Amino acid sequence: MIAEQCVYERPVGLTATYTHYCPGCTHGIAHRLTAEVLKELGILGRTIGVASVGCSVFAYHYIACDFVGAAHGRAPAVATGLKRVLPDRVIFTYQGDGDLASIGLAEVLHAAARGEKITVIFINNAIYGMTGGQMAPTSPPGMVTSSSPGGRNPQQMGYPIRVSELVAQIEGSVYVARRSLHNPAEIRKAKKALRLAFEHQIAGHGFTMVELLSNCPTNWGLTPIESLRWIEERMIPAFPLGELKNVGDGKVEG
C-alpha cells in the first residue's frame, strides 16, 4: 500500500480565491512564486505589497499580505513612502509593462537611483492587457496590437525599452534579473530570482527588481500553448534572460 503524499497544494501565501485572470495567463504563476517565496523566507506577516493599475490591479485579493493599490505607474513612489516610515517591513511592488515602463518609468528609475530597499516584480508581456491589447513600450518591432494594427513600426512607434538593463546600470540597484515563465525550468529560475531579490532587500542592500517575461494569450490572439512558444521565439530574443546584476555574487548576508 502506498502512503498518501501531498505533492501540490495552495501555498499559505495565496488566498482561497478564484482569480479573474484569463485561462493560460502566467500572472497566476508569478503570484504563486511570490507567495511561496514570502512564506519560505518567513516574511509574509511583515510584508506590504503595492498593487498597480493593469490586469494585476486585484493582486491583493490573491496574495495574502497587507496591500495598497497605487495609481498607474506610481507603485515605486508609494513603496518608497511605506519603506521610509516602516524600514523593518518588506515592501514589494507588482507592476506590468505599461505601468512600469511607460507611465511609471520615472518612478521606477528614481526609486532605483535612491537605492530604495524595495523589490519590484515587473511582469513584461509586451502589451496593455487590461485595456484590451494596445502596444506597450516593450512590444517588439512588428508586433500587431490594437494600437499598432500594421505591426509596431519603429520608424513611427519607436523601439522597445529594456528596463532591466536601464535599472542594472544605476548604482542604487543591487539585484536585477530577467526570467521567463514559459517553461518549468525557467519558472524554477524565476522563483530563485525572486528569492534572491527579497533576500537582498531583507539584508538592506538596496533596490531589487525581477522582470518576468509573461504571456497574454487573450490579447496576443493565441492559445495558451502558442503564447508560451511566442515568449520563447519573439520575446526572449528582444529581452535576453539572465542575472543582470547581483552585488556580492548572490552571497546574501543577513
Partner 1 sequence: MARELLKGNEAIAEAAVRAGLDAYFGYPITPQTELLEYLARRMPELGRAFVQAESEVAAINMVYGAACTGRRVMTSSSGPGISLMQEGLSYIAGAELPAVVVDVMRGGPGLGNIAASQSDYFQVTRSAGHGDFRPLTLAPATIQEAIDLTGLAFDLAERYRMLVILLVDGNLGQMMEPAELPPFCQREPSLPEWALGGAEGRPPRIITSIYLQPEALERHNLALQAKLAAIAEREQRSSGMYLEDADLIVIAFGSAARVAQNAVEAARARGMAVGLFRPITLSPFPSQHLARLAPRARAFLVVEMNAGQMIEDVRLVVGECAPVRFYGRMGGVEMLPDEVVQAIEQTMHDTHVTKNGARRLDAEVRL
Residue 106 touches partner 1, criterion: CB under 8 A: yes
Q: Of the ranges 104-112, 134-142, 196-204, 225-233, which one interacts with partner 1 (CB under 8 A)?
A: 104-112
Closest CA to 32 of 108, 100, 101, 94: 94
Q: Of the ranges 102-110, 174-182, 219-227, 234-242, which one interacts with partner 1 (CB under 8 A)?
A: 102-110
Question: For partner 1, which is the closer residue by CB, 42 or 184?
Answer: 42
Residue 44 touches partner 1, criterion: CB under 8 A: yes
Closest CA to 211 of 165, 152, 142: 165
Residue 38 touches partner 1, criterion: CB under 8 A: no
Residue 110 burial by Cβ neighbours in a 10 Å radius (0-12, 13-18, 19+): middle
Judged by CB under 8 A, which of 74, 178, 191, 245 binds partner 1? 74
Residue 37 touches partner 1, criterion: CB under 8 A: no
Residues sharing a CB contact under 8 Å with residue 44, sequence separation 6 or more, in sequence order = 12, 13, 35, 38, 64, 65
Residue 67 touches partner 1, criterion: CB under 8 A: yes
Task: Indicate left, alpha or beta for 158 from its phi (over 0: left) and psi (-120 to 50: alpha).
Answer: left
Question: For partner 1, which is the closer residue by CB, 69 or 151?
Answer: 69
Cell of 92: 514589494
Residue 115 touches partner 1, criterion: CB under 8 A: no
Residue 50 touches partner 1, criterion: CB under 8 A: yes
How many alpha carbons lie under 13 Å from residue 78 in its C-beta half-sphere?
21
Q: Of the ranges 103-111, 171-179, 182-190, 237-245, which one interacts with partner 1 (CB under 8 A)?
A: 103-111
Judged by CB under 8 A, which of 64, 163, 196, 231 binds partner 1? 64
Q: At what angle do helices 105-113 and 75-85 cross, to 10 degrees?
A: 30
Residue 119 touches partner 1, criterion: CB under 8 A: no
Closest CA to 228 of 178, 177, 176, 187: 187
Residue 204 touches partner 1, criterion: CB under 8 A: no
Residue 31 touches partner 1, criterion: CB under 8 A: no
Cell of 163: 528596463
Q: Which residues bind partner 1 (CB under 8 A)?
A: 44-48, 50-51, 57, 60-61, 64-71, 74, 77-82, 84-86, 89, 106-107, 110, 114
